[in-house]
Structure 1
C-alpha cells in the first residue's frame, strides 16, 4: 500500500507541476515524509524527479521549447550547488532553510500582484549562474525547491512550454549530481530506491496528461496558476516545519521555559 500511495502522490504532483511550471517535488514532499519518514524525503523525491524529467524533456523537445542559453548559464552553478548541498545533507539539519524558502515562495503572490504583473524585476541569462548554485544547494539539502526558480524564469520572460522545457533539462542534470552524491554517501538505501522508483514511474506518466492540459492555458492563466502553486508549496513547507517554528517561538519568547516551570510545579 505504501508503494501505491507514493505512486498516486507522484502522479498527482507531477500533473500539477506540468501545468503550473514546477512544484511537483515540493508537493510530493509531505506525502513522502508521512509515508516513509522525513529522512527519506531528499533521496526519494530526487529519484522521483530524476525518473520524471526525461519524459518531460522528450515531450517538449519536439516543439523546440528549450532555451539553451539559460541551460548553459544555469548548469555550471547548479552542478556545484547540488554537489555541495547533497554533501551537507549527510551531516546537517536543514529545517530552518525550509522556512526561509517557504516565506520566499509565499511572497510571490505580492511580487506579481496575484498574477496580473508579468515581471517583478529584469532578469538576464547570466544571472542563472548564481541562481543555479543557490537553488541547487537548497535542493540538495532539503530535497526539493522546484517553484523557487519560477520567479526568475518569469522575470526572464520564459513562460508555459518554454519555462517547463528549460527547467526540465536543468533539473535532470542537477538531480543526476544529487543522486550520485547520495549514493556515494550511502544516503540512498535499497528501500528508498524502491519508493523513489514507484513514484518516479507514475510521475513520468503524469507528464503526458499535464502537457495536454497546458496547451489550453493562456499566459495569464498559467502565471496565476504558477503563483498559486508557489504559495501552496510555501504553505506546505511551513506546515511540515511547524515543530521547528514552535521551537523558535518558544525560545525567543521564553514561553517554553515558563511552560516547563509550570509543569514542574
Structure 2
C-alpha cells in the first residue's frame, strides 16, 4: 500500500525537476531516482521513473516540435534502442556503483574541457550512433543518463528549443524501449502504472513552466545553465547520491 503523502512528495519533486529538465534538457531523472527510491524502493523506483520520463520527454518533444533535428534523432535511436533492451535485461545483476562513478568523472572532465580546452569541433553524424548506444545501456541500468548526452548535443551546435526537443526525442525512444523490456521482465505491475499516472499532472505542469523560462533566456545563459547542471550531476554520480 502506497501512502498518499508519499505520492504528494513525489509529485512535488516531479514538478520541480520537470522544470529543470525543460530548461537544461536533462537533470530530472538523475535527481528523481534517489527521491523515488527513498519513497518506493529501488525496484519500483526505476520503472516508475521511466514512466515519468516518458511523460516529461514526450511533453518536451511536443512543445519544441518545430525545432527537432530528425536526422540526429534517427541515428541516435539506431544505437540506443537495442542497447536499452540489453540494459533493461541486465538491470538485476549489473554493478551500478562503479558505473555511476565513471559517469561522474566523465561529466566533470567534459565541463573542464569545454572551458579550458580548444574550441570543440562539431560532432559528426556517426558520433550520435555511438552516443545512443552508450546512453541506451546506461539509461536502462541507471534510470536516466541525460547528462551523458548533453555535451554531444551542445557540441553539435544545438541550442534552446532545438537542443531541448531533440534530446527529449532521443530520450523518449529509450524510455519507451525500456518500458517494453521492463514489462517483459515483470518489473511493471499495477502499482507502478498507478504511480506513473498519478505523477503525470505534476510532470506536465513542470514541463510547461520550464518551456516558458527557456523562451526568456539567451543562448549564452542557456549554455551556462546546462554546464552547471552537468557539474551537479557529475558530483551526484561521483559521490553515489544519484
How high is the TM-score relative to the length of structure 1? 0.84
Aligned to 2:80: 78
Give matches, 1:136-151, under 5 Å: 136-151=136-151
Give the counterpart of 1:15 among 15, 19, 37: 19
Aligned to 2:175: 175
Range 152-161 or range 198-207, more displaced? 198-207
1:211 is paired with a residue of what secondary structure?
helix
RMSD over aligned Cα atoms: 1.9
Range 36-45 or range 46-55, more displaced? 36-45
Range 47-56 or range 149-158, more displaced? 47-56
C-alpha spacing 1:111/1:170, structure 2 compared with 1 (3 Å): same
Aligned to 2:125: 125
How high is the TM-score relative to the length of structure 2? 0.91
C-alpha spacing 1:215/1:139, structure 2 compared with 1 (3 Å): same
1:232 is paired with a residue of what secondary structure?
helix
2:199 is paired with a residue of what secondary structure?
helix
Aligned to 1:184: 184
Rounded to whole Å, the distance in 2 between the matches of 1:106 and 1:213 is: 26
Range 187-196 or range 21-30, more displaced? 187-196
> Is the contact made by 2:80 and 2:135 (CA closer than 8 Å) also made in structure 1?
yes
Cα drift, residue 109 of structure 1: 2.6
Rounded to whole Å, the distance in 2 between the matches of 1:231 and 1:87 is: 30
> Is the contact made by 1:42 and 1:144 (CA closer than 8 Å) also made in structure 2?
no
Rounded to whole Å, the distance in 2 between the matches of 1:200 and 1:86 is: 23
> Is the contact made by 1:57 and 1:168 (CA closer than 8 Å) also made in structure 2?
yes
Quick check: 1:56 aligned with 2:44?
no
Aligned to 1:65: 67
Range 131-140 or range 166-175, more displaced? 166-175
Rounded to whole Å, the distance in 2 between the matches of 1:67 and 1:174 is: 17
> Is the contact made by 1:65 and 1:161 (CA closer than 8 Å) also made in structure 2?
yes
Rounded to whole Å, the distance in 1 between the matches of 2:121 and 2:194 is: 42
Cα drift, residue 218 of structure 1: 1.0
Rounded to whole Å, the distance in 2 between the matches of 1:53 and 1:118 is: 32
* Deviation string, structure 1 residues 197-228 (Cα, Å, up to 9, x no partner): 33343212211111110011111111110011
Rounded to whole Å, the distance in 2 between the matches of 1:204 and 1:174 is: 19
Bigger Rg over Cα: 1
Gaps of 5+ in 1: 243-265
> Is the contact made by 2:159 and 2:219 (CA closer than 8 Å) also made in structure 1?
yes
> Is the contact made by 2:44 and 2:192 (CA closer than 8 Å) also made in structure 1?
yes
> Is the contact made by 1:56 and 1:204 (CA closer than 8 Å) also made in structure 2?
no
